Structure formats: structure tokens, C-alpha cells
Amino acid sequence: MDTGIKDKIFLPFFTARTEGAGIGLTLSKNIIEAHGGYLNYLTEKDSTTFTICLIE
């Protein structure tokens, strides 16, 4: 993930693609947080991994 977009990826309607609405990560984050969890990501070299944690 480019360092220039890291602060924007969870903003509504932000997209780095030519097509797309930019609501996927925002919607996912809101749903996960509504259930008491969190969505995190880690970027290493050429890959980004997203982790969903739901706390019981």
C-alpha cells in the first residue's frame, strides 16, 4: 500500500482504483466496530494484510 493513502483508506468514498465506490473498508470497519471489534492492517514490502478481531 502506498504510504500516501494509509491515512485515507477508511474514509468514505476514498478509492485508489479507477472503478469502485470506496465504501468497502469504511462499511466493514463500521460493522466490525459496532460488534465491539476492530479492523487493523499491516503493510510489509509489497503486500497488505487486514485483520479482523471480534472480542467476545
Q: pLDDT tens across 2-51, in order?
A: 878 888 999 999 998 888 899 999 999 999 999 999 999 999 988 999 99
Burial 37-50, CB ≥16 within 10 A → b, else e = eebeeeeeeeeeee
Number of domains the chain is built from: 1
Q: 45: domain range? A: 3-53
pTM for this model (two decimals): 0.81
